[in-house]
Amino acid sequence: RKEVEQDPGPFNVPEGATVAFNCTYSNSASQSFFWYRQDCRKEPKLLMSVYSSGNEDGRFTAQLNRASQYISLLIRDSKLSDSATYLCVATSGGYQKVTFGIGTKLQVIP
């Protein structure tokens, strides 16, 4: 079982829709969590960190559920420019080893 699991998708949604992705992690000692965005043939870029209390950045909301060991990303009012792969990241271990999920591909359709 992979340490960080995501549904690879693709998720095809119309413009303006709300879409949610989940990511589960197996290491209960994981301490920090992130969502990165990766455009096709580009490098990953940080979208947002995920805090225990949940956090929001414009149309994006991230949540952490430690009891069930998952994090989520909610995108409201989807834009064409949101089309990308969204990578879930968990860090754990003494120095906080970094583990990426496979990524969830989102395609926003006009």
Per the structure block, which two tokens stand in for 109? 């359709």
Q: Which two tokens stand for residue 93?
A: 């271990």
CB closer to another protein, 15 vs 98: 98
Q: What is the 3-state secondary structure (H, E, C) of 66-105?
A: CCCCEEEEEECCCCHHHCEEEEEEEEECCCCEEEECCCEE
Would you count residue 34 as binding another protein (CB under 8 A)?
Answer: yes
Q: Please count the CA atoms within 13 angstroms of the CA of 20 that sit on its side-chain side.
A: 8
Residue 79 makes contact with another protein by CB under 8 A = no
Smallest gap from residue 41 Cβ to another protein (A): 9
Q: Does 40 bind another protein (CB under 8 A)?
A: no
Nearer residue to another protein within complex by CB, 44 or 64: 44
Q: Which residues bind another protein (CB under 8 A)?
A: 4, 6, 8, 31-32, 34, 42-46, 49, 87, 91, 95-103
